[in-house]
Amino acid sequence: MSAAGPTGLRWEARPQLRDPVLVAAFTGWNDAGDAASDAVTWLSTHFGARPFASIDPDEHFDFQANRPEVQLVDGVTRHISWPTLEFSAAPANGAGPDLVLLSGPEPNLRWRAFCDTVLEVARETGCVTVVTFGALLADVPHTAPVRVTGSTTDTALMEELGLERSRYEGPTGIVGVLHDSCRNAGLRSASFWAPVPHYVATPPNPPATRALLDRFATLTGRTLDLRELGVASEAWRARVDSAVAGDEEMRDYVHELEEQSDDADQDDAAGSDNPEEIPSGDDLAEAFEEYLREQGLE
């Protein structure tokens, strides 16, 4: 095991990669329904990614916010498992660009230094593009197609991908900061965000994960077999449909969201920036989550 450098970066190996793309997602604020981190996990599993570097957790975590966990080995020995930010590599074997994957909890401390470390790995591994995945809770119906928003440093690519430019303003997470750091460094980058229905926020969310991967496939030209996620998405929607059907108040709320979604489509086509707003439904969401738990549908 190699020693960590001054930035806390520890190299275990130096992978030889062909035109790699760095893909990053973080658990926590940026990861509603675990949709973004599940997308990176899917890529890692399906392409046999292997770890090659990590970042010292002492550099970027508040251990009172992200506590290490005690585990028993063989039922006797105690082992401390620390929050981990790990890089892994997956060769494409001719099916598209190689992958460098970064996953782990959202860091708590020194975000700018953290982004500098990620860019260092991108440069050292020859990555020419960085892609970030994110997912946020939103007032969207589970019955509608997932409308991925995002931005890229390439305007032509924005149109090619058919992305809807995000209009969000407000607090951001490490995904937004990393994307901005890539732009400032002159590195080609894309940031994809999937909305997750806030009234059924419990992970997993296969439709959102599939939508992120679908956009990623278009960006990279890499073939992804997403049929299994498609089946999981249909099963997920069927379970939520069943739960909604048993709650009249929730049925009305979902219907309102569907109407809002239709109105937004019409406003977008007409160039309007003022779609009709409806209440956020936070109380309904909390009650519906409790209903799902009672029905054993989470």
Contact yes or no for 14/66 (Cβ under 8 A)? no
Q: What is the CATH number of the domain that holds 62?
A: 3.40.50.10900
pLDDT given for residue 214 in this prediction: 94
pLDDT given for residue 71 in this prediction: 85
On whether residue 100 sits in a domain, the answer given is yes
pLDDT given for residue 152 in this prediction: 85
Q: How many structural domains is the chain composed of?
A: 1
pLDDT given for residue 273 in this prediction: 41
d(CA 219, CA 158): 10
The helix (run of H) or strand (run of E) holding residue 53 is strand 50-55
pLDDT given for residue 164 in this prediction: 66
On whether residue 271 sits in a domain, the answer given is no
**Residues of the domain holding 106:** 9-226
On whether residue 63 sits in a domain, the answer given is yes
The token duo for 152 is 């890229």
Helix 174-184, helix 111-125: angle, nearest 10: 60
Q: What 3-state DSSP class applies to 155? A: helix
Q: Are strands 99-105 and 21-27 parallel, antiparallel or unpaired?
A: parallel
pLDDT given for residue 150 in this prediction: 85
On whether residue 171 sits in a domain, the answer given is yes
The token duo for 61 is 């975590």
pLDDT given for residue 79 in this prediction: 84
pLDDT given for residue 264 in this prediction: 59
On whether residue 52 sits in a domain, the answer given is yes
Contact yes or no for 102/44 (Cβ under 8 A)? no
Q: What is the pLDDT along the chain (298 residues), one digit of tens a residue?
A: 455 555 689 999 999 999 999 999 999 989 999 999 999 999 999 999 999 999 999 999 999 988 988 888 777 778 888 888 999 999 877 667 899 999 999 999 999 999 999 999 999 999 989 999 999 999 999 999 999 988 887 777 777 776 666 677 788 889 989 999 998 998 989 999 999 999 999 999 999 999 999 999 988 888 899 999 999 999 999 999 999 998 899 999 999 999 988 655 544 544 434 333 333 444 444 544 554 555 455 5
**Which pairs from 255-260 meet CB under 8 Å and 24+ separation?**
257/139, 257/140, 257/141, 257/197, 257/281, 258/141, 258/143, 258/144, 260/139
pLDDT given for residue 284 in this prediction: 44
On whether residue 42 sits in a domain, the answer given is yes
On whether residue 148 sits in a domain, the answer given is yes
On whether residue 83 sits in a domain, the answer given is yes
Encoded amino acid at 59, one letter: E
The token duo for 223 is 């073939």
For the whole model, what pTM was predicted? 0.84
pLDDT given for residue 78 in this prediction: 82
